[in-house]
């Protein structure tokens, strides 16, 4: 089971006015544990301001994507962090963290991954959604000489664009295999696309003009919910099978749905639901309080249960449902094939049957 380890910050590089790249040193004995695939992320945690002890209720966790090429035993980890208005963790990371500070970091995870292989791949990203795709593109182009990558990125302006130099470097190193198109919503460019948002209609016209859509082996969509949904609809409209579209949401603006009370199979409220959870080789069975998610119940008894966003976005709390039935409030993390295989998000799951059993290890 993954546990947090304190890692030392070795560099805080300013990327834009409101974003930084953070580098952490990984001690030699932990390096195999922190190996990662291109596109994966790490979860960080900190005390809420004023909290003396670190408990599930006082800590803040956030996931951030790794931006450097993949590595099996990394000596360092580099992530991109953009400050979000009112963002407890991101403000701290952008404004307060300094080299020499220590942060608790979970080993990498996530399934928004492209293992290098021959073929044509493409990405549509918005804002900080470039972060995992930078790792994906750099790893792919460096390791697989017969792979090509097309990146369509959008941002507000040049000044707000993260990893400009790193992306330009890919263009210089792989001029024949890396294609870059930039759309700026609030700034006219001397060359390239006219200003304006990338929406479904625009992407439906743009993508076929850039590359042969049916020949693309995998599409990687990353950024705010709106952009990812528009891009996904555009691709489906162009005939791209769902299985070739991979997506990761960075920001979900609407407020999380309030947890509803546990419901019985008939749709009524059950006051006697229980959850059995296997976690790190140990099992427990606990009654659920009304309205609790599966994760909340488990966390009351097992503080080591994995989670980060609690919002259905990061996928850290993924469990396999072994028996019973749950209803998920929302899901922006699991792909259709994972749902079919019986995975659910513990932070979004409420029981529909009197008893449910989940496996965090599966
Ligand atoms: S903790 Fe992020 S999806 Fe559940």
Q: What's the burial of 170, exposed, middle or buried (CB within 10 Å: 0-12/13-18/19+)?
A: buried
Residue 175 CB contacts under 8 Å (≥ 6 apart), including other chains: none
Name the 3-class secondary structure at 26.
coil
Assigned CATH class of 119-250: alpha beta
pLDDT at res. 270: 52
Q: What is the pTM of this model?
A: 0.89
Which ligand 1 atom sits nearest the alpha carbon of residue 348? 4
Residue (of 348, 130, 154) closest to 259 by Cα position = 348
**Phi/psi zone of residue 337: left (φ > 0), alpha (ψ -120 to 50 degrees), beta?**
alpha
Ligand 1, atom 3: closest residue by C-alpha: 312
pLDDT at res. 260: 44
Which ligand 1 atom sits nearest the alpha carbon of residue 307? 1
Domain 259-359 fold: Ubiquitin-like (UB roll) (3.10.20)
Domain spans, the chain: 5-105, 119-250, 259-359
Residue (of 307, 284, 312, 287) closest to 297 by Cα position = 287
Strands 355-359 and 274-279: parallel
Per-residue tokens: 226: 């709106």
Per-position pLDDT tens, the chain of length 362: 578 999 999 999 999 999 999 999 999 999 999 999 999 999 999 877 665 565 656 788 999 999 999 999 999 999 999 988 777 788 888 999 999 999 999 999 999 999 999 999 999 999 999 999 999 999 999 999 999 999 999 999 999 999 999 999 999 999 999 999 999 987 877 777 777 789 999 999 999 999 999 999 999 999 999 999 999 999 999 999 999 999 999 866 554 444 444 444 434 345 689 999 999 999 999 999 989 999 999 999 998 999 998 999 999 999 999 999 999 999 999 998 999 999 999 999 999 999 999 999 98
Per-residue tokens: 193: 């696309």
Which ligand 1 atom sits nearest the alpha carbon of residue 346? 4
Ligand 1 centroid – CA 317 distance (Å): 5
Cβ(317)–Cβ(305) below 8 Å: yes
Ligand 1 centroid – CA 342 distance (Å): 16
pLDDT at res. 50: 64
Q: What is the DSSP string of 284-342?
A: EEEEPPTT--HHHHHHHH-TT---S-SSSSS-TTEEEEEES-EEES--SS--HHHHHTT
pLDDT at res. 268: 38
Q: What is the DSSP string of 228-296?
A: HHHHHHHHHHTT--GGGEEEEEEE--SPPPPPPPPB-TTSSB-S--EEEEEETTEEEEEEPPTT--HHH
Residue 192 CB contacts under 8 Å (≥ 6 apart), including other chains: 181, 182, 183
Ligand 1 interacting residues, C-beta cut-off 6 A: 307-317, 333, 345, 347
Ligand 1 centroid – CA 82 distance (Å): 19
pLDDT at res. 233: 97
Q: What is the homologous superfamily of the domain 5-105 according to CATH?
A: Translation factors (2.40.30.10)
């Amino acid at each position: 089971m993954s546990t947090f380890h304190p890692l030392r910050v070795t560099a805080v590089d300013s990327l834009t006015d409101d974003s930084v790249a953070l580098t952490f040193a990984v001690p030699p004995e932990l390096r195999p544990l922190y190996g990662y695939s291109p596109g994966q992320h790490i979860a960080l945690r900190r005390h809420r301001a004023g909290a003396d002890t670190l408990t599930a209720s006082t800590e803040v966790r956030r996931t951030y994507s790794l931006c450097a090429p993949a590595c099996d035993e990394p000596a360092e980890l580099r992530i991109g962090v953009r400050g979000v208005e009112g963002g407890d963790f991101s403000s701290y990371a952008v404004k307060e963290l300094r080299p020499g500070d220590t942060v608790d970091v979970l080993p990498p995870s996530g399934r928004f991954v492209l293992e290098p292989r021959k073929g044509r791949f493409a990405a549509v990203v918005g804002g900080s959604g470039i972060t995992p795709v930078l790792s994906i593109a750099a790893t792919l182009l460096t390791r697989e000489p017969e792979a090509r990558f097309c990146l369509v990125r959008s941002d507000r302006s040049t000044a707000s664009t993260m990893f400009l130099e790193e992306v330009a470097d890919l263009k210089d190193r792989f001029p024949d295999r890396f294609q870059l198109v930039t759309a700026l919503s609030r700034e006219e460019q001397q060359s390239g696309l006219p200003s304006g948002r990338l929406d479904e209609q625009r992407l439906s016209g743009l993508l076929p003009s850039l590359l042969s859509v049916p020949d693309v082996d995998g599409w990687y969509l990353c950024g705010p919910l709106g952009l990812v949904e528009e891009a996904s609809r555009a691709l489906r409209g162009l005939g791209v099978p769902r299985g070739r579209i991979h997506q990761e949401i960075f920001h979900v603006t609407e407020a999380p749905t309030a947890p509803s009370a546990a419901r019985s199979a008939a749709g009524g409220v059950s006051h006697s639901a229980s959850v059995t959870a296997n976690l790190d080789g140990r099992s427990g069975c606990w009654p659920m309080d009304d309205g609790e998610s599966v994760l909340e119940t488990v966390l009351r008894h097992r503080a080591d249960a994995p989670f980060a966003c609690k919002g259905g976005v990061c996928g850290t709390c993924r469990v396999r449902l072994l028996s019973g039935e749950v209803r998920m409030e929302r899901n922006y993390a699991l792909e259709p094939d994972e749902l079919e295989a019986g995975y659910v998000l513990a932070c979004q799951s409420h029981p529909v049957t009197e008893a449910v059993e989940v496996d965090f290890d599966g």
